[in-house]
Amino acid sequence: MFCAGTDMRAGVHSTDRGGQYGIIRRYRTKPLIAAVEGAALGGGFEVVLSCDLVVASKTAEFGLPEVKRSLVPICGGLFRAPKALPRNVARELLLTGDSIDAKRAYKLGLASILSNAGDALDDAVGLAERICSNGPVAVRETMRFLASLDAPDEAHGWDETLESEDVIRNAEDTREGVMAFFEKRPPNWSGR
């Protein structure tokens, strides 16, 4: 799958199954592995955060730049980043809109495999083959158990994300941030 994130002109819309991008709210009985080459920013990083395992090429970059446009991540990034990364690193990404490179992501435990450029997909397939060599009932039960640990946090996270989205949607700064992005100029924030 390829994901460039959200088209800021079109916005984000949920699919009938799985939420935005079709996978971020879908319960799975088999692990979903992200193979990342290049930038995974905004919605692209939120797709990565919805995966069970991450293989990152040395060219990968991860970030949530929404705040730079007076937006917030609405596809799970607000509550999944602090679970996938040390809390203060997640705060850094969420509050600055900056990104981290693959080496730092690997050191922090976001990626379980750091691949050479161009090898992330092959390494992800290799990881999938290792998982598939195990008992399918045990893999499925492990996935069910791991999902049950996250279930209360996920439900609360989605509720809080919707509340933040409502505030952001009506803010003057949001319109200014998006206009500034398209006009390729620095935003003039009003705090409203």
Active site residue 66: yes
Which value, in Å, is the radius of gyration of the alpha carbons in the chain? 17
The whole-angstrom separation of Cα 91 and Cα 154 is: 18
Would you state the structure tokens that stand for residue 42, as one six-digit string?
């905004």
User: If DSSP codes are grouped into helix, strand and coil, which group holds residue 102?
Assistant: helix
> Could you report the per-residue pLDDT of 135-169, keeping only the tens digit for each?
999 999 999 999 888 878 888 888 888 999 999 98
Does 127 reside within a domain? no
- The answer as to whether 125 is a domain residue is no
Choose, from 61, 66, 160, 165, the residue flagged as catalytic.
Answer: 66
Tell me the per-residue pLDDT of 99-135, one tens digit each, with 9 for 90 and over. Answer: 999 999 999 999 999 999 999 999 999 999 999 999 9
| Within-domain flag for 96 | yes
97 domain residue, yes or no: yes
Instruction: Find, among 109, 131, 110, the residue nearest to 28 by Cα.
Output: 131
Q: Quick check: is 30 in a domain?
A: yes
Overall domain count for the chain = 1
Predicted structure pTM score: 0.84
- Write the DSSP string, 128-191: HHHHHTS-HHHHHHHHHHHHHHHHHHHHHHHHHHHHHHHHHHT-HHHHHHHHHHHTTS------
Q: Exactly one of 46, 61, 141, 163 is catalytic; which is it?
A: 46
Domain membership flag for residue 191: no
For residue 43, the domain's CATH number is: 3.90.226.10
Does 129 map to a domain?
no
Active site residue 176: no
Q: Is 113:130 a contact under the CB 8 Å cutoff? A: no
Judge residue 156's burial from the number of C-beta atoms within 10 Å of its C-beta, 0-12 exposed, 13-18 middle, 19 or more buried. Answer: exposed
Domain that holds residue 31: 14-116+135-182
Q: Is residue 1 assigned to a domain? A: no
